């Protein structure tokens, strides 16, 4: 097993995820750790999660507002103050020019030192993490990072909005089939669980969350060769 690199905090992080709750299941422990170390973290949620939920008694038209509010509460729980939603349709996400442009817009505005997104590659070991929306959001984000956010002549309407080109230098991919980096989240595990539990519309059995997530993070800590009792979130790091 090759040694994994410990991810270091940076000043500004932009996290782009397909659905409300993706960031919390995927990396809320890392986010809480970065926030505790002084990083300014922003969320960009591509859909409102309108195809989610488990309770048929809730009118479907109410789901987007419910899920937005849950994500706001989860972000606040771990100290993230900046988040926005693009409002694309849940379950039908595709990498289209408008999506790449909209993500490029946010990258140019925030100017992050690091972008975290979902892997565009299918993970056959963790199939639920490779939802088609996840892969589409990740693919669009990587295209936004290179070449569109950094190309001043791409999407000229962004320049007209006063958004100059910006070069992202580091990307972390979540749920990638391979991993080469980790964050020790032992001390922020409780914060991660608290953030996940904010998404009550998605949790038919909240009591199952803690043991399930702990099992994942123990396995990740083993991949990172951390000591007994440690917990980790793992990523594939790309330096551009």
How high is the pLDDT of residue 1? 47
Which is nearest to 159 in space by CA: 170, 168, 151?
151
* Residues near 162 by beta carbon (within 8 Å), at least 6 away in sequence: none
Rg (CA), the chain: 17
- Give the Å distances, CA to CA, from 104 to 27, 107, 147, 155, 196: 22, 5, 9, 9, 28
Residue corresponding to tokens 């922020």? 188
As for how many domains the chain has, the answer is 1
Q: What is the pLDDT of residue 2?
A: 65
| Phi, psi (degrees; rounded to nearest 5) at 165 | -60, 150
Domain with 114 in it: what CATH number?
3.40.50.10320
Per-residue pLDDT of the chain (240 residues; tens, 9 = 90+): 469 999 999 999 999 999 999 999 999 999 999 999 999 999 999 999 999 999 999 999 999 999 999 999 999 999 999 999 999 999 999 999 999 999 999 999 999 999 999 999 998 988 888 999 999 999 999 999 999 999 999 999 999 999 999 999 999 999 999 999 999 999 999 999 999 999 999 999 999 999 999 999 999 999 999 999 999 999 999 999
What range does the domain containing 43 cover? 5-239
SS (H, E, C) 179-237: CCEEEECHHHHHHHHHHHHCCHHHCCCHHHHHHHHHHHHHHHHHHCCCCCCCCEEEEEE
Geometric angle at alpha carbon 20, from 126 and 132, rounded to 5°: 45
Q: CA 39, CA 151: separation in Å to the nearest integer?
A: 26
């Amino acid at each position: 097993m090759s040694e994994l690199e410990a991810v270091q905090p940076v000043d500004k992080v932009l996290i782009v995820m397909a659905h409300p709750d993706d960031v919390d299941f995927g990396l809320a422990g890392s986010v809480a750790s970065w926030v505790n170390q002084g990083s300014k973290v922003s969320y960009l949620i591509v859909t409102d999660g309108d195809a989610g939920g488990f309770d048929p008694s809730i009118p479907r038209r109410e789901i987007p507002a419910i899920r937005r509010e849950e994500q706001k509460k989860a972000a606040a729980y771990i100290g993230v103050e900046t988040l926005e939603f693009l409002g694309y349709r849940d379950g039908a996400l595709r990498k289209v020019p408008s999506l790449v442009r909209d993500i490029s817009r946010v990258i140019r505005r925030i100017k992050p030192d690091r972008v975290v997104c979902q892997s565009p590659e299918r993970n056959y070991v963790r199939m639920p993490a490779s939802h088609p929306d996840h892969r589409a959001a990740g693919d669009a984000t990587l295209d936004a990072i290179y070449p569109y956010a950094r190309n001043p002549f791409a999407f000229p309407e962004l320049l007209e909005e006063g958004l100059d080109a910006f070069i992202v230098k580091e990307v972390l991919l979540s749920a990638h089939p391979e991993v080469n980096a980790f964050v020790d989240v032992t001390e922020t595990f409780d914060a991660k669980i608290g953030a996940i539990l904010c998404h009550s519309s998605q949790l038919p059995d909240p009591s199952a969350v803690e043991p399930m997530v702990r099992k994942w993070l123990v396995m990740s800590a083993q991949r990172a060769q951390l000591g007994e009792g440690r917990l980790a979130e793992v990523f594939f790091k790309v330096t551009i």
